[in-house]
């Protein structure tokens, strides 16, 4: 939506779609290994075991302080008042002191508990956010090609959010409810076994009620989350495609589609609220009936002088507190259910293993053999097939001497991009090895590999920040002079200088509109600054005009002279600067030679080239 | 808090139910306050008099009151369940409708994530606000007043003791509300920033990997999430303070009342039943008092959400058009730009316009290629035709009529567009193509054939295959061809193509061009072109330079006569060409 955002482009080699429709990636269900969700939760909490225990202790003490009140009431009525009548003021002082102590302790402990539990839950969230982020970054490009960006974003936003709600509101509530239920039951039983037993007995219908609510609510909530997901997809799609929406007058049709989805969500939402209403009535009826029963029996016994009045008063006060939080238990179940679903999705994501792992025992690259700044690339008996099946590149061998510029041409789906991605180690070959100056790419650390091999793709994505920052991604320590120099070499300096704040223009802010062609120039400046030994251009000039493309070629001929370069292009103009041309078809290299040889020959390349030349005449 | 009043138009239609529900909640809450009075009656009456029948009667009263309370609370929820979901849905539909009609310039500025969070999280917060805080701030207020009155009537000294903490609690609440709202807004904004980093790191994954930059991305992420954690902890401390105070002060007052009450009972000035009733009333008021903190916090968040919602709703939609009736059979004049100047509405003051007094005429049935250096404003110019942006000065006419005099609907039905960035929607391939007009298999097949998009028939369910975010992902070239098919399917009078072949390989491009030539034969078309091959589709070429049209002619005329054009098409430096001549 902002000028600098482009949707990720699936590359041309992805014409393998038909066999993919049964893939778990197509429906948002990554396989979550059994127990992974629990293991994730444990591993998140394990490092703060001590603090969790402290938080629990604080809560335990806080509840003890809070629940002491009615006990003091009973003592005041049954003991302190008669004692006071006998001019013994001690017990009443004790009550006063006790109440003062409990009240202050309850407040202070409340403060301590909330801050402690916030720290635990925030640290869990920080850890989890970081893990998702790092893991997503570590997963290889083939994963990202299949797991849409929207899903990944919702994993680290909405799913983490629902866990936050659980941790911050639900969990506290649940523990407090259970804890106070236990405390109060024990106190009631201690005050009077009979009355306590009645209260405990009321837990049975309450439990059944909660169970049935949970089951019914789960159904409704599942429907609701599907409904809201559909609303979100429609919404995002419309906003991201707002230009075609307008141009093709989709507004009314969209309004109608959206209304259907929105109403479905409205209905499930209403259903969920009604389930809740039913539950509230049930739990309240149970609670209030129990209170009436206990008062009846208690009052009967007070009248018969087998029970002290103070005890009855305390029991009644306790019962209110016992049943008050039960409504909120329902709310907790809701947030628990959505958080469990989210956590499962996150666990599924974290269970994915990067298919392009870092080496266990990395090797150093040798010094440059050739005396040139470039390095030799060898595809040694390489074969590549997707893990889901579907061979893209049958077994082949290829040697690119250091310093050679190789153009790869061929139609959509010929396997050009796959070749490039193997060289950039976005994928690893299914068989065989890719060697850089004799070292298997799999033995190089990411840092070494990325310093030596740089790939510029068709999608010229700009990160938020200034133009200069975007260029210096290629070499973060570069000075402003070096950045400007790179931009000048590639012919991007003039347009950058004309932006409102020149190199300091924020690409996402006012006046930062940057066209597709200009974005590609920035991407080139980035690559130029990185100064790699091997440069891969994958359709990197598709949005450039001819002078832009020429500037890129000039820069490659001068600044990047002696580097090994692999250039994939639809445009044959690019091929002119190549030392060598590979024509690919259905995963195989069908023609290989210098441009002049191929143009002079009778192969496919000669035909293509002739047609292209004609268009320039 | 005043911002919340802006919700009224949405709440109005359901006001009867909402007010009834609030009234019922007050009623139910007050029933809760009657229960202690029944207890008092029992303690001082039947229990003291040893009257079993009275005890039964008292318990029966309690049971009835309890059942009434339960049913009333349930009734309240039943009353508002559907209406509140409806309010939420209405607001969401309005937001969606409004966003679809806001100027493109607005969408350029706003990330979709920011809009989405308004349509989901913010609206959910508002529904919850209408369901709880709005009702319960009222209900609890009334309950507290009634409860305090009951206590004052029973024993005014004890009642006053209970009232003492009210003042400090109220003051704390006011102070807290201000600080908390600031912290809440800060946290929401930081979540937004964090989302942006996540979005970028996913969308730019190839660049991050390609340059080995994941460490610095991770650092940026860590910094932001650390900041968010800080803000959240600050929020928690604020909440802890207010809750600590709200718990402690009333509890102290109850303790004081208990001791004073006990003394009075001992002195015989107060009945035991009154003390029990008094204390149970005070305890019954605990929840209404305790909950004020979180109700205020929720209201505060709802206020922020309202603000965010109306931030978008207050943006002006595309200006209307003074639609004059179509003059049927008017002269076929083609597409004309007259003295068109354009500058982005949000451009800094004094910056040069993107387009500066452009004059251009495309004759009926003619196709014109638009050529210009990277960033010269070609895409902007094409966006003016379907009024995705509005001209700043001058006018654009279709067959002699100013496009501002047509309804947008009419204009956009006559002009079909294919964008450089091809977007497919979650629908079948066939539906996506037929969005451009036309109907039935025949048009679809013809359009697919023109765009060389016959691969669509080979998809798993043919042209009924789902694509888009929810369906099969297609490659850039495939999407571009479908977008082209969409542009030509309705046989539009006017066609605007923005570099429509950039992602195609050479073979496909040649085939598309051959087929397009037939379509273009009787269509008035404006085609943005980077390449000679695309230019050759057109009858004439216009050169856009420095925001103005500097030359118009055939490809070959310009190639020979215009140095800049020759430079753009062949890439040879302009000076060399000058010398060659």
CATH of the domain at A113: 1.20.1560.10
Evaluate if residue A587 carries a pLDDT over 90. no
B45 and B116 assigned to the same domain? yes
Note the pLDDT tens digit of each residue in B251-303.
888 888 888 888 888 888 888 888 888 888 887 787 787 777 778 878 888 88
Evaluate if residue A433 carries a pLDDT over 90. yes
A138 and A85 assigned to the same domain? yes
User: How high is the pLDDT of residue A510?
Assistant: 44
Burial of B12 (0-12, 13-18, 19+ CB in 10 A): exposed
Domain presence at residue B449: yes
B486 and B453 assigned to the same domain? yes
Contact between B62 and A153 using a beta-carbon 8 Å cutoff: no
Nearest to B347 among A304, A511, A517 (CB): A511
- 3-state SS assignment for residue B328: coil
Domain holding B433, by residue range, is 335-580
Within 10 angstroms of residue B15's Cβ, the number of other Cβ atoms is: 11
For the segment A357-377, the average pLDDT, to the nearest whole number, is 82
A341 and A395 assigned to the same domain? no
A174 and A278 assigned to the same domain? yes
* C-alpha triplet B37, B40, B42: angle, nearest 5°: 115
- Tell which residue, A105, A79, A99, has the closest CA to residue A90: A79
User: How high is the pLDDT of residue B577?
Assistant: 41
User: How high is the pLDDT of residue A484?
Assistant: 92
Nearest to A17 among B56, B263, B472 (CB): B472
Domain presence at residue B206: no
B405 and B455 assigned to the same domain? yes
B348 and B299 assigned to the same domain? no
Contact between B419 and A265 using a beta-carbon 8 Å cutoff: no
CA atoms within 13 A on the CB side of A263: 6
A402 and A326 assigned to the same domain? no
Domain presence at residue B205: no
Contact between A233 and B275 using a beta-carbon 8 Å cutoff: no
Domain presence at residue A357: no
Distance CA A408, CA A378 (A): 16
Query: Distance between the two ends of chain B, CA-based, in angstroms?
Result: 75
What tokens were used for B555? Answer: 């490809």
User: How high is the pLDDT of residue A21?
Assistant: 37
Q: Which of B161, B425, B482 to mutate to test the interface with A (most CBs of A within 10 A)?
A: B425
Query: A281-290, A461-470, B224-233: which has the minimum mean pLDDT?
Result: A461-470
B304 and B384 assigned to the same domain? no
Q: In sequence order, what are the residues at sequence separation of 6 or more whose Cβ sits closer than 8 angstroms to the Cβ of residue A163?
A: A125, A128, A339, A342, A343, A346
User: How high is the pLDDT of residue A388?
Assistant: 64
A401 and A263 assigned to the same domain? no
| Count of the separate structural domains present in chain B | 2
A298 and A386 assigned to the same domain? no
Domain presence at residue A513: yes
Q: In sequence order, what are the residues at sequence separation of 6 or more whose Cβ sits closer than 8 angstroms to the Cβ of residue B498?
A: B378, B379, B382, B417, B418, B419, B420, B528
User: How high is the pLDDT of residue A511?
Assistant: 44
Evaluate if residue A614 carries a pLDDT over 80. no
User: How high is the pLDDT of residue A370?
Assistant: 65
* C-alpha triplet A603, A604, A608: angle, nearest 5°: 125
User: How high is the pLDDT of residue A20?
Assistant: 35
Which CATH number covers residue B123?
1.20.1560.10
Note the pLDDT tens digit of each residue in A321-342.
787 777 677 677 777 777 887 8
User: How high is the pLDDT of residue A163?
Assistant: 85
A403 and A300 assigned to the same domain? no
Banded model confidence at residue A382, pLDDT cuts 50, 70, 90? very high
ipTM above 0.95, yes or no: no
A488 and A593 assigned to the same domain? yes
Q: In sequence order, what are the residues at sequence separation of 6 or more whose Cβ sits closer than 8 angstroms to the Cβ of residue A185?
A: A196, A199, A200, A322
CB A482 within 8 A of CB A514: no
User: How high is the pLDDT of residue A617?
Assistant: 53
User: How high is the pLDDT of residue A17?
Assistant: 35
Domain presence at residue B219: no
Domain presence at residue B65: yes
Contact between A262 and B93 using a beta-carbon 8 Å cutoff: yes
Domain presence at residue A152: yes
What tokens were used for B559? Answer: 């190639």
B97 and B57 assigned to the same domain? yes
Domain presence at residue B235: no
B280 and B428 assigned to the same domain? no
A244 and A336 assigned to the same domain? yes
Nearest to B262 among A81, A243, A259 (CB): A81
Whole-model pTM above 0.80?
Answer: no
B292 and B424 assigned to the same domain? no
Evaluate if residue A6 carries a pLDDT over 50. no
Q: Which of B34, B61, B89, B497 to mutate to test the interface with A (most CBs of A within 10 A)?
A: B89
B70 and B166 assigned to the same domain? yes
B299 and B439 assigned to the same domain? no
Domain holding A326, by residue range, is 34-350
Tell whether A108 lies on the interface with B, counting CB pairs under 8 A. yes
Which CATH number covers residue B439?
3.40.50.300
Q: Which of B264, B473, B508, B577 to mutate to test the interface with A (most CBs of A within 10 A)?
A: B473
B372 and B473 assigned to the same domain? yes
Chain A: residue nearest B226 by CA?
A126
Domain presence at residue A590: yes
Of B313, B347, B364, the one marking the end of a domain is B313
- Tell which residue, A417, A192, A75, A161, has the closest CA to residue B122: A161
Q: Which helix (H) or strand (E) holds B517?
A: helix B506-520
Query: A397-411, A421-435, A498-512: which has the minimum mean pLDDT?
Result: A498-512
A169 and A265 assigned to the same domain? yes
Neighboring chain B residues of A156 at a CB cutoff of 8 Å? 198
Burial of A153 (0-12, 13-18, 19+ CB in 10 A): buried
User: How high is the pLDDT of residue A7?
Assistant: 34
CB B369 within 8 A of CB B556: no
A438 and A510 assigned to the same domain? yes
Partners of residue A584 on adjacent β-strands: A410, A589
Distance from CA of B526 to the nearest CA of A (A): 15
Contact between A239 and B252 using a beta-carbon 8 Å cutoff: no
For the segment A258-269, the average pLDDT, to the nearest whole number, is 91
Distance CA A393, CA A581 (A): 18
Domain presence at residue A506: yes
A382 and A290 assigned to the same domain? no
Domain presence at residue B229: no
Question: Which residues in chain B come in under a pLDDT of 70?
Answer: 1, 113, 320-330, 468-473, 506, 571-581
For the segment A173-189, the average pLDDT, to the nearest whole number, is 85
Which CATH number covers residue A605?
3.40.50.300
User: How high is the pLDDT of residue B230?
Assistant: 93
| Count of the separate structural domains present in chain A | 2
B531 and B490 assigned to the same domain? yes
Contact between B244 and A76 using a beta-carbon 8 Å cutoff: no
Domain presence at residue B236: no
């Amino acid at each position: 939506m902002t000028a600098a955002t482009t949707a990720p482009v699936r590359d041309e080699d992805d014409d393998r779609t038909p066999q993919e429709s049964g893939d778990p990636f197509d429906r948002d269900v990554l396989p979550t290994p059994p127990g992974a969700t629990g293991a994730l939760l444990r591993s998140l909490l394990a490092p703060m075991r001590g603090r969790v225990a402290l938080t629990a202790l604080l809560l335990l003490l806080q509840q003890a302080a809070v629940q002491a009140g009615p006990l003091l009431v009973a003592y005041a009525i049954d003991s302190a008042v008669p004692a006071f009548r006998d001019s013994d003021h001690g017990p009443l002082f004790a009550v006063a002191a006790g109440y003062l102590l409990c009240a202050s302790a309850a407040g202070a402990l409340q403060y301590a508990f909330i801050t402690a539990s916030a720290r635990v839950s925030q640290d869990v969230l920080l850890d989890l956010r970081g893990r998702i982020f790092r893991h997503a970054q570590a997963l290889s490009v083939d994963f990202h090609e299949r797991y849409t960006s929207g899903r990944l974003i919702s994993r680290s936003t909405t799913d983490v959010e629902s866990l936050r709600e659980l941790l911050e509101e639900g969990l506290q509530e649940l523990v407090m409810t259970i804890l106070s239920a236990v405390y109060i039951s024990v106190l009631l039983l201690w005050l009077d076994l009979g009355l306590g037993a009645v209260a405990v007995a009321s837990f049975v219908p309450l439990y059944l009620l909660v169970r049935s609510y949970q089951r019914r609510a789960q159904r409704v909530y599942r429907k609701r989350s599907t409904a809201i997901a559909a609303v979100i997809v429609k919404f995002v799609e419309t906003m991201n495609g707002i230009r075609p929406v307008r141009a093709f007058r989709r507004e009314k049709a969209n309004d109608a589609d959206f209304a259907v989805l929105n109403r479905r969500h409205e209905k499930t939402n209403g259903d969920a609220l009604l389930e809740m209403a039913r539950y509230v009535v049930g739990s309240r009826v149970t609670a209030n009936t129990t209170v009436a029963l206990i008062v009846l029996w208690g009052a009967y016994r007070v009248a018969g002088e087998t029970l002290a009045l103070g005890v009855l008063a305390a029991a009644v006060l306790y019962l209110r507190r016992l049943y008050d939080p039960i409504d909120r238990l329902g709310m907790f179940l809701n947030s628990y259910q959505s958080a469990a679903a989210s956590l499962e999705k996150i666990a599924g994501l974290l269970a994915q293993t990067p298919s392009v792992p870092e080496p266990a025992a990395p090797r150093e690259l040798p010094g440059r053999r050739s005396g040139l700044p470039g390095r030799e690339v060898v595809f040694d008996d390489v074969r590549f097939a997707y893990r889901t099946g579907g061979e893209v590149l049958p077994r082949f061998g290829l040697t690119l001497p250091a310093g050679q510029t190789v153009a790869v041409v061929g139609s959509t789906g010929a396997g050009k991009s796959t070749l490039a991605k193997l060289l950039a180690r976005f994928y690893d070959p299914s068989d065989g090895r890719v060697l850089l100056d004799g070292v298997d790419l799999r033995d190089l650390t990411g840092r070494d590999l990325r310093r030596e091999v740089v790939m510029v793709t068709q999608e010229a994505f700009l990160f938020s920040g200034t133009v200069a920052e975007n260029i210096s991604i290629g070499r973060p320590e570069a000075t402003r002079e070096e950045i400007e120099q790179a931009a000048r070499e590639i012919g991007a300096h003039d347009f950058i200088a004309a932006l409102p704040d020149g190199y300091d223009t924020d690409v996402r802010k006012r006046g930062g509109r940057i066209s597709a062609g200009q974005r590609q120039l920035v991407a080139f400046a980035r690559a130029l600054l990185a100064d790699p030994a091997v440069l891969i251009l994958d359709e990197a000039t598709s949005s450039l005009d001819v002078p832009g493309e020429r500037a890129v070629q000039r820069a490659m001929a001068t600044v990047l002279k002696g580097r090994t370069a692999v250039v994939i292009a639809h445009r044959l103009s690019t091929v002119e600067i190549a030392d060598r041309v590979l024509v690919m078809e259905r995963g195989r290299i069908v023609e290989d030679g210098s441009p002049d040889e191929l143009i002079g020959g009778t192969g496919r390349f000669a035909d293509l080239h002739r047609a292209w030349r004609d268009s320039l005449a | 808090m005043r911002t919340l009043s802006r919700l009224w138009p949405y709440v109005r239609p359901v006001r009867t139910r909402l007010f009834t529900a609030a009234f019922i909640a007050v009623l139910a809450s007050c029933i809760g306050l009657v229960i202690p009075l029944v207890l008092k009656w029992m303690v001082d009456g039947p229990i003291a008099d040893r009257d079993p029948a009275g005890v039964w009667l008292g318990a029966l009263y309690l049971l009835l009151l309890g059942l009434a309370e339960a049913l009333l609370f349930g009734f309240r929820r039943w009353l508002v369940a559907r209406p509140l979901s409806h309010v939420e849905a209405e607001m969401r539909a309005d937001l969606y409708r409004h966003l679809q009609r806001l100027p493109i310039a607005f969408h350029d500025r706003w990330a979709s994530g920011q809009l989405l969070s308004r349509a989901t999280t913010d609206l959910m917060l508002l529904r919850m606000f209408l369901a709880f805080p709005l009702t319960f701030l009222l209900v609890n207020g009334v309950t507290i007043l009634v409860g305090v009155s009951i206590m004052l009537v029973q024993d005014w000294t004890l009642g006053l003791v209970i009232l003492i903490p009210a003042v400090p609690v109220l003051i704390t609440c006011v102070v807290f509300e201000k600080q908390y709202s600031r912290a809440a807004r800060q946290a929401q904004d930081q979540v937004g920033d964090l989302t942006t980093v996540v979005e970028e790191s996913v969308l730019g994954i190839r660049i991050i990997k390609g340059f080995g930059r994941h460490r610095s991305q991770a650092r940026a992420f860590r910094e932001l999430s650390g900041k968010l954690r800080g803000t959240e902890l600050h929020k928690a401390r604020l909440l802890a303070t207010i809750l600590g105070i709200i718990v402690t002060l009333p509890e102290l007052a109850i303790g004081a009342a208990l001791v004073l009450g006990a003394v009075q009972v001992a002195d015989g000035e107060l009945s035991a039943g009154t003390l029990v009733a008094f204390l149970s009333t005070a305890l019954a008021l605990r929840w209404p008092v305790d909950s004020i903190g979180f109700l205020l916090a929720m209201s505060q968040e709802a206020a922020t959400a309202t603000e965010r919602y109306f931030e978008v709703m207050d943006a002006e939609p595309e200006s209307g058009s003074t639609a004059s009736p179509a003059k049927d059979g008017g002269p076929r004049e083609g597409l004309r730009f007259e003295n068109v100047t354009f500058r982005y509405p949000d451009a800094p003051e004094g910056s040069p316009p993107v387009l500066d007094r452009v004059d251009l005429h495309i004759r009926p049935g003619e196709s014109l290629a638009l050529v210009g250096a990277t960033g010269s404003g070609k895409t902007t110019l094409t966006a003016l035709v379907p009024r995705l942006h509005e001209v700043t000065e001058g006018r654009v006419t279709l067959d002699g009529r100013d496009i501002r005099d047509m309804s947008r609907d009419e204009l956009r039905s006559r002009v079909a567009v294919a964008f450089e960035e091809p977007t497919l929607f979650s629908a079948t391939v066939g539906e996506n193509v037929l969005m451009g007009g036309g109907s039935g298999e025949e048009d679809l097949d013809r359009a697919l054939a023109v765009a060389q998009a016959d691969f669509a028939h080979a998809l798993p369910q043919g042209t009924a295959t789902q694509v888009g975010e929810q369906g099969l992902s297609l490659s850039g070239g495939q999407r571009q061809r479908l977008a082209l098919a969409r542009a030509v399917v309705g046989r539009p009078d006017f066609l605007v193509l923005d570099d429509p072949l950039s992602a195609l390989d050479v073979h496909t491009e040649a085939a598309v061009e051959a087929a397009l030539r037939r379509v273009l034969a009787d269509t008035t078309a404006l085609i943005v072109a980077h390449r000679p091959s695309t230019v050759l589709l057109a009858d004439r070429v216009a050169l856009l330079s420095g925001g103005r049209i500097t030359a118009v002619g055939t490809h070959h005329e310009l190639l020979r006569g215009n140095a800049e054009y020759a430079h753009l098409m062949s890439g040879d430096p302009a000076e060399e060409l000058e010398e060659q001549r």
